[in-house]
């Protein structure tokens, strides 16, 4: 299965795409880095610059229906930038409209809020997003991983980098089940 990893050009917390990427690749999936512009993205280790990664496809040119699922890594700046880009919000919304599974960690649910896909769903995130999730019509829970199937597709969310092992296991189970 091709899995889109959507990030902004800067600000993604490095372990949040790299650990799920590696887990997806090891499980036989094809991870694809999608961003709002071509070239490279700049990852961060908290506030320090970390590695750069080559963009495979650009939002606006990439089609959600060419992917089996979507992973939204966090970091504070990454989803804050993505939620201001209408093409990114439309790309995310398309996965929900096409009944494809989505996984989001840490601050990434900000992008879900902007895509208007949170209403009626239960999810977790970095704790500071609790009010945003509730204001968007979702139910926020403080759990390591939350799998929500209160809509046409399954949504897997997780709180923070410390939850990555559980997040990877959960989203891979859901994505494999949905592809089955």
Q: Is 46 a catalytic residue?
A: no
Q: Which of 29, 46, 106, 150 is catalytic?
A: 106
With the CA atoms of 100, 83, 123 and 55 taken in that order, what torsion angle do they form, in degrees rounded to the nearest 10? 50
Q: Is 168 a catalytic residue?
A: no
Nearest CA to 147 out of 128, 129, 121, 179 is that of 121
Report the alpha-carbon distance of residue 166 to residue 179 in Å, rounded: 20
Q: Any idea what the Cα angle at residue 40 is, between residues 45 and 34, rounded to 5°?
A: 95
The CB density around residue 154, as the number of other CB atoms within 10 Å, is 22
Q: Which of 29, 107, 148, 168 is catalytic?
A: 107
Active site residues: 106-107
């Amino acid at each position: 299965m091709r899995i889109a990893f959507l990030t902004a050009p800067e600000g993604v917390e490095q372990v949040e795409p790299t650990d799920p990427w590696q887990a997806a690749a090891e499980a036989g999936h094809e991870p694809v880095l999608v961003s709002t512009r071509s070239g490279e993205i700049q990852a961060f280790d908290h506030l320090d610059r970390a590695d750069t990664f080559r963009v495979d496809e650009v939002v606006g040119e990439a089609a959600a229906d060419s992917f089996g699922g979507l992973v939204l890594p966090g970091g504070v700046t990454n989803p804050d930038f993505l939620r201001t880009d209408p093409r990114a919000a439309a790309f995310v919304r398309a996965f929900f409209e096409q009944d494809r599974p989505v996984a989001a960690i840490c601050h990434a649910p900000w992008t879900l809020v902007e895509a208007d896909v949170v209403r009626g769903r239960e999810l977790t995130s970095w704790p500071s997003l609790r009010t945003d999730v509730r204001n968007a019509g979702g139910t926020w829970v403080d759990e390591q991983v939350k799998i929500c199937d209160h809509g046409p597709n399954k949504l897997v969310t997780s709180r923070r980098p410390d939850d990555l092992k559980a997040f990877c296991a959960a989203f891979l189970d859901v994505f494999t089940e949905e592809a089955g």
